[in-house]
Amino acid sequence: MNSMLERRKAIYPGTFDPITNGHLDLIKRAAAVFDEVIVLVSMNIHKEPMFSLEERRLLVEQSVDRMENVFVDVFDGLLVHYADQKGACAIIRGLRAVSDFEYEFQMALMNRKLMPRLETVFLMPSEEYTYVNSSIVKEIATLGGRVDCFLPDPVVRALLKKVKRT
């Protein structure tokens, strides 16, 4: 295929437990740069998610449903294998604070070693989202605080329902 005709695909991987407005901000930024963005809902062996993989996929789909060049998928395996299967040229990662950089830098270098043609693109969220992360939002909801300013509407409803069951 002629390189001028190839679509530039990026993958934005994460556990998205749950997806926040900060995640959506990064997805919108990536969608403005790439022809196609795949939001990849994945497992993380270091985390115990509140929402199942299928629940997270559904919440992400509901949150990005109006974004024409954004697609949602799930994958449980090595990210570079998925990127190779999909023909992606980039991985999108968000940096909220300097503390995120060391881990993300190590992962970017490892992914480059495993798949040299795959670039990692770091995006910063808008200032209003720099302190937002899924863990803190879940804790606020669990303790009875308001979370509607941090999450898309479908996610607010799902999270409040989930914390009332636990």
| Catalytic (active-site) positions | 23, 47, 96, 134
Distance CA 2, CA 139 (A): 49
Tokens 């479908």 sit on residue: 154
- Residues 39, 60 contacting (CB under 8 angstroms): yes
Cα torsion 77, 80, 83, 85: sign: negative
Q: Write the burial class of residue 151 (CB in 10 Å: 0-12 exposed, 13-18 middle, 19+ buried).
A: buried
Dihedral in degrees, nearest 10, Cα atoms 155, 156, 157, 161:
100
- Report how far apart, in Å, the C-alpha atoms of 55 and of each of 80, 86, 162 are: 24, 23, 11
